[in-house]
Amino acid sequence: MGKSFSFYEQTGVLIPGATLVFGLLFFFPEFRQLFFSDGVSIGGLGLFLLISYAAGHLAAALGNLMEACIWRLGGGRPANWVTRAKGRLLSNEQIDSLEQLIKQRLRLDISAIRGMNPDQWFPISRQIYADVMSHGKAGRIDSIVGNYSLNRGLAAALLALVLISLAFSESESRYTLGLLPIAMIYMYRMYRFGVRYASELYVQFLLLPAQPPIPKRPNNVTRLPIG
């Protein structure tokens, strides 16, 4: 391919996609000839990589539906938990500091965070992430996001294999008993990394100075914004 895969593409797309394709080859061994008709070859591995990448996006789509259900049952996305009257993500003092820092650093005249509508809070949380990222503090957060995407993708891939085994391979449906608990473990890990992401995001933001960043002086060359 023309470029190397990013960390997110590897963890959130390629690895879950390869898991899904491997599972399909197990349930439908006749398709192995597509990749390994003459043994392991560079061409076969390249084709497997391409199909795994495509399958990974299918797993990601299923993962989006899965996480929407999980967070609905779990009381909303962790990044919105700070808007609750009683939350466990940050202490009351940290939420007060977060509110003041948003007003001073981001220059946003917001109301009290506690009780704010999550739909109103979501774009503010995205701006917080952009600010943290622009100051080189997003390394740990991006690692957490990568692991979150990995566990979400693996859980979705295994759930897809469970459905496929039940629908098309009745003789192999006994493997469902093994795949389903593993998928549940990946869901739990996804949940944990989701909580860690929100906590790390706000803690890193609270470490930034109160004064807003000084805008950079424009260069002589005019650059047009994209979009």
Tens-digit pLDDT profile for residues 44-60 = 677 788 888 999 999 99
Distance between CA atoms of residues 134 and 147, nearest Å: 21
105 within 8 A of 211, measured Cβ to Cβ: yes
Segment among 16-25, 124-133, 165-174 with least mean pLDDT: 165-174
Looking at the predicted structure, is the pLDDT value of residue 141 above 80?
yes
Contact between residue 8 and residue 143 where contact means Cβ atoms under 8 Å apart: no
Pairwise CA distance, residues 205 & 75, whole Å: 24
Say how far apart CA 68 and CA 3 lie, in whole Å.
Answer: 31
Q: Mapping DSSP to helix (H, G, I), strand (E, B) and coil, where does residue 37 land?
A: strand
pLDDT at residue 201, rounded to an integer: 94
Q: Kindly state the average pLDDT of the residues 208-217.
A: 70
CA distance 207 to 202: 9
Which position has the higher pLDDT, 45 or 25? 25
User: Taken in order 65, 67, 73, 78, is the CA torsion positive or negative?
Assistant: negative
* Alpha-carbon span 162 to 106, nearest angstrom: 47
Answer whether residue 155 shows pLDDT above 60: yes
Q: What is the pTM of this model?
A: 0.81
Q: Name every residue whose Cβ is closer than 8 Å to that of residue 53 and which is 6 or more positions away in sequence.
A: 9, 13, 14, 17
User: CA-CA distance, 9 to 69, in Å (whole number)?
Assistant: 23
